[in-house]
A and B are shown apart, each in its own frame.
Chain A
């Protein structure tokens, strides 16, 4: 909360005294302050191939602002006040910015960065802060490279791939044609698809790499070239049910639907896309959540916004439940088995103790709609159906 809002909150406290505040401490004259930061590390990159996906300047920040509003509304009744400092950095300045935030005494940092930067900044923070990974999806980040001071609100590649795989198996579409990009993160994502195929009994009947040669972006002649080249690139594949694309940098997947040689649907990085959030979701009270966000940000909510909202809502929920503003106490509670948070996905979200990944349903979305939500009912699990998505306890490579 910024200072003008702060005044409003204090005014409200004056107007709405709560004499018989049951089960909650009487609001103190000075509310408990819970501070956090949202650090977004922007790497220079080309614009997306669709102008509808241009990143807004407040990407991730807007979700954090909504979380702070939500937390403050509850905080009014608890005598708690929340704030989140927003910092946009470059890979060069991120370390110094983090140091500055930690020096100010901030103990909760929501990070929107790529995998390598996330590990580096988490190590830099060490035991000085609890870091929320609200963007990076790499499985290594939850596996061999995991860090005890990081909580992941972004779903992992494995969770997203498993979510889609369950749906494709439910559809009886087990034969996949996997096309992946040539960047290291594309190769990591392709590995998540191979793993999902093995896990759920699908078969990757063909695998091809689409090499990023720097062309084929959305230029005037781009679609002409695309129309000529993609059918050629995808022809002579063995019979398959669906094409799976693994394209983390938006190089080719967006063009793939309707340009394949065979008349087959496309999923993965384009077509039917597994996501943590989609602005068309209406179920489970999501309509009013979308409304609140759109009123605040004047745009639809993106995954980064949802994931930073979740991170700060976790902090808020911990503060409400423990009635504390003490960072160590909030952290311990978030990492305890008692912790749960609601995220407009129809069930409580909890943390995996083996890698600090937030369990959550995966939305399978097309351009305008949510097509399905995984886990699919048919996939059972002894602990939680959500643990059918991603790396389960016996498989984890994470050691804290």
Chain B
């Protein structure tokens, strides 16, 4: 009976969260919640000052938001959007990545040239790692052994050992690296360079750049092509790259690493998030104050959904 109740609770609890999309609005100081099935806005909720990076625990119970101007990470119940507690983050947290196990959280402190490691259960700082100028992009290897930080003015991807909290390698990339993303099999690391206009493909084992992906869009000034967010499908077949003020998301073939498509989305597209089934990809469009829903199979924009002021980050609840 107890068992049955537990199963019942689980089945009841899951649909409420599944496919819920959370978008931080940097200037609006709130999070817009979207129903990923109906593509309708469910509501918006205050989350502190200058919310940027956003992520969710693997079990879907804790929603983490970088409240940059509050100098901390605020944690919310994703169901009720009530704040449950805060985590120390170091000053000006911008973007973070959660260890695949859900603990700890690795936070880029943009103003302080640090990566702060925070225990999400004990709510305390485990380490502070000095990195380059303006750390932003944070990626973690699927096995959780390596965390990548990109520093925007130093122009490096720093490899951080998650056991020792020490930097083990630095890879120089093109100007203003914004984002770091591993493929799900851990064999490739993608680092986007906003001013350089490229995505560097790095072999994590040798820490060498194996390929540089470039973009060219007829009718769009090369200066406007500014890669930021990167997402890779689970099978590694498609890589999506948000191109900022080019207002497009590039689709890159995972085998040839050639660009196959450009999808027109809203203005100044920065961050991306898949739904758990990877049917849809959400984009944050900071200048048009909306998100675009992309159909992953067909590379087409399905719908634009107005959110708050200057949408920055996006995460979708796990199943």
Whether chain B is bound by chain A comes out as yes
A residues contacting B by CB (< 8 A) are 12, 16-24, 70, 73-74, 76-77, 285, 288, 291-292, 295, 320-321, 340-342, 346-348, 377, 384-385
A23–B169 Cα distance when bound, in Å, is 9
The answer to whether A73 and B167 touch across the interface, beta carbons within 8 angstroms, is no
A86 to chain B, nearest CB (A): 21
- Tell me whether B30 is interfacial, beta carbon within 8 Å: no
Residue-wise, chain B 138-175 has the 8 Å CB interface mask toward A (1 for contact) of: 00000000000001111110110000001111111001
- The answer on a CB contact under 8 Å between B207 and A70 is no
Please give, as numbers and ranges, the residues of chain A lying within 8 Å of B111 by CB-CB distance.
288, 291-292, 295
Bound together, the chains give a CA A325 to CA B183 distance in angstroms of 37
User: 17 A-B pairs, CB-CB below 8 angstroms?
Assistant: A16-B129, A16-B166, A23-B170, A24-B170, A73-B133, A74-B151, A74-B154, A77-B158, A285-B152, A285-B176, A291-B111, A320-B155, A320-B172, A342-B195, A347-B223, A348-B223, A385-B223
Binding site for A on B (CB under 8 A): 92, 110-111, 113, 129-130, 132-134, 151-156, 158-159, 166-172, 175-176, 195-196, 206-209, 221, 223, 226, 245
Judge whether B171 and A23 touch: CB under 8 Å. Answer: yes
Cβ-closest chain A residue relative to B170: A77
Residues in A with CB closer than 8 Å to B195 are: 340, 342, 346-348
B22 to chain A, nearest CB (A): 23
B134: chain A residues at CB < 8 Å are 285, 288
Least Cβ–Cβ distance between B224 and chain A, in angstroms = 8
For residue A253, give the distance in angstroms from its CB to the closest CB of chain B. Answer: 32
Contact of A70 among B153, B175, B226, B245 (CB under 8 A): B153
- Whether B130 pairs with A76 at a CB distance below 8 angstroms is yes
Q: 10 closest pairs, A vs B, by CB?
A: A22-B207, A74-B154, A347-B223, A22-B169, A342-B195, A77-B170, A342-B175, A73-B133, A20-B169, A70-B133
Partner of A348, one of B132, B159, B196: B196
A349 to chain B: closest residue by CB: B195
Work out how many contacts link A and B, with CB atoms closer than 8 A: 94
- Residues on B with C-beta less than 8 A from A21 are 169-170
Q: A16-B130, A385-B223 are in contact. Are A74 and B168 (CB under 8 A)?
A: no
Q: Report chain B residues within 8 Å CB of A19.
A: 168
Cross-interface CB contact of B172 among A20, A24, A292, cutoff 8 Å: A24
Which residues from chain A contact B169 at a C-beta distance below 8 Å? 18, 20-22
CB atoms of A342 and B166 under 8 A apart: no
Residues in A neighbouring B130, C-beta threshold 8 A: 12, 16, 73, 76
Residue of B nearest to A22 (CB): B207
Extra inter-chain contacts (19) besides given A20-B169, A74-B151, A340-B196, CB under 8 Å = A16-B166, A17-B166, A18-B167, A22-B206, A22-B207, A22-B208, A24-B170, A70-B153, A73-B130, A74-B132, A76-B130, A288-B92, A288-B111, A320-B172, A321-B172, A342-B175, A346-B226, A347-B223, A384-B223
Q: Is the CB of A291 within 8 A of B176?
A: no
The residue on A at minimum CB distance from B176 is A342
Give the nearest-CB partner of B203 in chain A. A22
- Among B111, B196, B226: residue with most chain A CB under 10 A: B111
The CA-CA distance from A77 to B176 in the complex, in Å, is: 17
CA A73 – CA B155 in complex, angstroms? 11
A19 to B159 CA separation, bound complex (whole angstroms): 11
